[in-house]
Chains A and B, each alone.
Chain A
Amino acid sequence: MNRIDQTFQKNEKLLSIYFSAGHPELEDTVPILRALQDSGVDMVEIGLPFSDPLADGPTIQESSTRALRNGMSTEKLFQQLENIRENIHIPLVLMGYFNPMMQYGIERFCQKCQAIGIDGLIIPDLPVDLYHLHYKELFDQYNLYNMFLISPQTSEERIRYIDSVSSGFIYMVSSASVTGAQSTFGNTQEAYFRRIAEMQLHTPQVVGFGISNAETYRAATRFSRGAIIGSAFIKFLGEKGVDAIPDFIKSIR
């Protein structure tokens, strides 16, 4: 069974953390993963940095730029993760834009992910329709889940379609925004969370974008199965460093 499914079976509410691989320092990837697992995080999204991350706000743009400047690349990340499953047993998801994956070769990329023990991918600029048509078979062959995003503007019909093609979880973008843009949630978001919960989708939903503290984590997980924190964690990491990671996680739940 895919580790993502196992985690949803085991836990009522998930805390998942996103970080840009190669930031703050090139070799931080493995220490960050260890610290996150030790702090009780349920799942991690490892960000593959891209020069033009058009769905991301300033924090992740900056961490991506810095990671690239530090020398991060697809090849380098795979090297760092080579033996990761000796120590890390929580689900690992790679999140990145489609172009670097294309250049690596989609099948080679999938092969490598499977060999390392990556459980799934999030590719914000690969639309569900094109995935369904051209890549699903390949991903299935290598046992990789592919997670899709929905936003408050996504129509019910399209959410049903995404649900039918999805595995793992549906990534619910908390509001019409790029990453990192919110600091609190209002009534509009709560209504949206409630509306999606009432649709009774077969794929569990995890909320992301704009979750930064215990309050937004609680609000996000009231109607969903979990929450993903990215920008707020990256900011913390930049200021306090890898050793302080347990403090951040404790402040959330």
Chain B
Amino acid sequence: MKYQVDEKGFYGDFGGAFIPEMLYPNVEELRKNYIQISDSESFQKEFQSLLIDYVGRPTPLYFAERLSEKYNTKIYLKREDLCHTGAHKINNTIGQILMAQRLGKNRIIAETGAGQHGVATATVCALMGIQCIVYMGALDIKRQAPNVARMKMLGAEVRAAQSGSKTLKDATNEAIRDWINNPVDTHYIIGSVVGPHPYPDMVARFQSVISAETQAQLLEKEGRDYPDHVVACVGGGSNAAGLYYHFLENPQVNIIAVEAAGKGIDSGASAATSALGKEGIIHGSKTLLMQTPDGQITEPYSISAGLDYPGVGPMHAHLFRSQRAEFISIPDQEAMDWGLTLSQMEGIIPAIETAHAFAILDIRKFLPEDVVVFNCSGRGDKDLDTYIDHFKL
């Protein structure tokens, strides 16, 4: 269990719960109960049946023949883009809404950047008939109008975060403030493997269905239950945590994390936290984050809204520092080009986040016999406007 969370809530040097005392009772209640609840038979029964009947799992593990031929290696796509609501995000929100119900909570709050996690949260709240409030940066509300409309249509209230830089990190601050103000009846559904312990571990567990299915599917297709490489994009890192989860302790599996270089690592407009971040505290977790020398958290940039978080989850910070994972960063331009490449070579229009992962194929060589699994974490419908602008479609 070298790469999993330890009993104190740390991944090596990273993690923990650096939270104001006012949040302690909420987080402690969750910490004491999350494993027992999620391991219980009744929880698992409901969780698994919703993943199958509602989300549409298992998602296919698709052998990408044309890509494999072109890059002379064996490329598989784990098709999380086929999940209900269009991305892996819903695996976590299903798990957390069931958790919230068992903790007796009747009010849900969430943060969202691009709106994907907000939509996934609004969806499960509608499914369960629970009140839902989503915090979103005022700037993001303007940039992501269709997802705002989706959340509203699903019955959620979208509240604008007006503080700081008015983006994802500020929406997260607002959600945390809401939780401080409503400590008894409210559950906070965090959308990634970030935040105070036990969130990174809980979210990783709910997303671990991705690698559990991959194991079974590889056994069938390749006669062994592990690949040589797993590749995923990392913003906060939830789709990556899900794909890596069951392979973390298997040294035969190489782990590749792909970050957004934005306009270039040294351009001042980037989200490549492993290259630009320093150890610090963001949203209750000790991790790597982008900040000024004075310790003020800076605003990241990527063309993909799902990757522009100024930190990474503590699991990923540990994978980076311990060199268990290989970190590669991909600029906007290459990611956009790969959005087009994947569309035209495999008939799959990926989210721009997801396109970052595939773009490593141009710079990272694999052996012909290597089995490489990419997390095709989300579909590109939400990004059509950006694609249209970029390619003058």
Contacts and interface: CB of A to CB of B under 8 A. Distances in A.
Contacts of A127: 17-19, 21, 24
B22 A151 contact: yes
B181 A178 contact: yes
A100 B293 CA distance: 9
Residues of A in contact with B, size category: 35 or more
A52 B19 contact: no
A132 to B, nearest CB: 13
Contacts of B295: 50, 74, 99-104
B19 to A, nearest CB: 6
Interface string A148-179: 11110111001000100000000001001110
A53 B176 CA distance: 10
Nearest to B180: A178
Determine which residue in A75, A102, A126 has the highest number of CB atoms from chain B within 10 A of its CB, and name it.
A102
B280 A102 contact: yes
A2 interface: no
A61 interface: yes
A151 B281 contact: no
B197 to A, nearest CB: 11
Contact of A99 (B24, B177, B181, B281): B281
Contacts of B19: 125, 127
Contacts of A103: 278, 280, 291, 293-295
A160 to B, nearest CB: 14
A50 B18 CA distance: 15
Contacts of B24: 127, 153-154, 158
B297 A54 contact: no
A72 B362 CA distance: 45
Interface in A128-145: 128, 130
Given A125-B281, A127-B24, A158-B24, A54 B177 contact: yes
A31 interface: no
A102 B180 contact: no
Given A149-B20, A153-B22, A54 B283 contact: yes
B183 A153 contact: yes
Contact of A176 (B183, B281, B283, B293): B183
A155 B176 contact: no
A14 interface: no
Contacts of A158: 24
A62 to B, nearest CB: 8
A106 B22 CA distance: 24
A232 to B, nearest CB: 18
A54 B280 CA distance: 15
B20 A54 contact: yes
A236 interface: no
Nearest to B25: A153
Interface string A32-56: 0000000000000000001111111
A58 B22 contact: no
A51 B166 CA distance: 12
Nearest to B16: A130
A68 B20 CA distance: 22
Contact of A100 (B18, B21, B294): B294
A176 B181 contact: yes
A146 interface: no
Contacts of B25: 151, 153-155
B21 A151 contact: yes
A61 B22 contact: no
Q: Which of B21, B181, B278 has the most CB of A within 10 A?
A: B21
A73 B294 contact: yes
Nearest to A173: B22
A3 B167 CA distance: 42
A57 interface: yes
B319 to A, nearest CB: 21
A36 B164 CA distance: 29
B182 interface: yes
A176 B22 contact: yes
A100 B164 CA distance: 16
A73 B295 CA distance: 9
A55 B297 contact: no
B238 to A, nearest CB: 21
B160 to A, nearest CB: 13
A99 B289 CA distance: 10
Given A54-B173, A103-B280, A65 B21 contact: no
Nearest to B182: A176
Interface in B229-283: 278-283
B318 interface: no
B297 A51 contact: yes
Contacts of B40: none
Contact of B180 (A73, A98, A177): A177
B297 A99 contact: yes
Interface string B135-161: 000000000000000000000000000
Contacts of A61: 163-164
A173 B183 CA distance: 14
A124 interface: yes
A100 B279 CA distance: 11
8 contacts: A52-B169, A54-B176, A54-B177, A102-B280, A125-B19, A153-B183, A153-B184, A178-B177
Query: Which 4 residue pairs of A and B lie closest in terms of their CB atoms, listed nearest first?
Result: A100-B295, A103-B295, A51-B296, A55-B20
Given A51-B164, A125-B18, A153-B183, 7 more contacts: A61-B164, A65-B163, A97-B281, A99-B295, A100-B296, A125-B19, A173-B22
